[in-house]
Chains A and B, each alone.
Chain A
Amino acid sequence: MTGRLGALLRRDLARLLLGGRRGGAILPILFFLAVAMIYPFAVGPDAPLLARTGGGVIWVAALLAAILPLDRLIEPDIELGFFDQWALRGISEEWTVSVRILAHWLSFGPPLMLAALPAAALLGLDGDTIGLVELGLLAGTPGLAALGVMVAALTAGLRGGAALSGMLVIPLAVPLLIFGAGSLSTGGNAGIALTAACSLVLLAIAPFAAGAAIRAARD
């Protein structure tokens, strides 16, 4: 079983990082940087204001960037028949979805944390804030990945699924955003811990919810 899951992880990573014709991991990152870049244009060159609000902007940009890859997380593999073939081989949807969440996080979380550094520089954040943003993203992006895969599975095959999944992710990601971005203003680790707790809850629910959704989509 481990070898099979390893094969799945390799495939998922190659597909999500490079992406083929659907665009790989680089597009959400560029989008994230673009949002961080246009924000100073919109509010003007007021350095204290940028430094005070910049952390929150990074969080909003990360959340929006997490929506971009949703339509290629689950639906293509249902259409191509992959989930059926895995199920016939006794690899349950829960396992394939867990592997998919891990691959999605690897192709999305660390690159985003890396891109947060130039974004923080653009917004003029100080060292402490950058550290909190990075910690918060480390705690929050696994939850975002789990949420993304779960919503992608729930909306797979629906008309307007891509737009709908965006509408579903945003309210469900609000706790992550409140605790993650909130830790910036309180300056404490409690916010980070609560962000991590939200992530863990999402990680625990997502494989079962997404697996059930994929099975229900078969009927």
Chain B
Amino acid sequence: MQECRIAAEKLACRRGDRVLFSDLDFALSPGDALQIVGSNGIGKSSLLRILAGLMRPFMGHVSRAGAIGLIDERAALDPDLPLGKALALWQRIDGPVDNELARLGLAGLLDVPVRYLSTGQTKRAALARLLGQGAPVWLLDEPLNGLDTDAVDLVATLVAEHCRAGGICVIASHQPFDLPGLQRLALMDFAV
């Protein structure tokens, strides 16, 4: 796995007139997993988007090395296409990395248009997109939403395997996440 690292320095985030959090510092090196916890609206998703480089921080700086894979509430799959073809777009862009369809329980759904998939199935499809990307840094925004208990365990296993292989994972979720060695960051400690 390619060299990876992600660190936040004195990070602050502003939405509208409100500063959500400030003076946030952390550094993650290969093998680290971090869960960001906090109540709704405290800025978990914003923090992930800042870490991904999709949003500018109000203050502070993010340094990152290695490609970034992001899962949020949008699957980035064409709703009109069958799942197989929708994922094929990402395989053409990301290269032939195994996206473990069978393990995610998607092998039988490849002919189903994405818009007919349930919430949980769409989430699994987004996970397949993430696995196929082969990015060393995973940013997962509420990855457990809509998943059944089997799939919740599967996500924990996938994250554990990813970190064991030298990847980094940042999870924003208010749900408990069962993973040995998981660091926790309570965002309310940095709230303004």
Contacts and interface: CB of A to CB of B under 8 A. Distances in A.
Q: Do chains A and B interact in one complex?
A: yes
Contact of B78 (A4, A15, A84): A15
Interface string B53-76: 111100000000001111010111
Contact of A81 (B56, B74, B89): B74
B161 interface: no
Interface residues of A, number: 23
B14 to A, nearest CB: 10
A82 B49 CA distance: 14
B102 to A, nearest CB: 23
A160 interface: no
B75 A80 contact: yes
Main secondary structure on B side of the interface with A? loop
Contacts, number: 61
A162 B56 CA distance: 28
Contacts of B72: 81, 84
B89 A85 contact: no
A9 B67 CA distance: 23
Given A81-B75, A85-B76, A218 B54 contact: yes
Interface size band for B: 20 to 34
A88 B68 contact: yes
B55 A84 contact: no
Nearest to B113: A20
Nearest to A7: B92
A219 B14 CA distance: 10
Interface of B: 49, 52-56, 67-70, 72, 74-81, 89-90, 92-94, 129, 133, 135
Interface of A: 3-4, 7-8, 10-11, 15, 20-21, 79-82, 84-91, 218-219
8 contacts: A3-B92, A15-B78, A20-B78, A21-B80, A80-B75, A82-B76, A87-B53, A88-B53
Given A4-B93, A84-B74, A219-B55, 18 more contacts: A3-B92, A4-B92, A11-B78, A15-B80, A80-B74, A80-B75, A80-B79, A81-B74, A81-B76, A84-B72, A85-B70, A86-B93, A88-B52, A88-B54, A89-B94, A89-B133, A91-B93, A218-B49
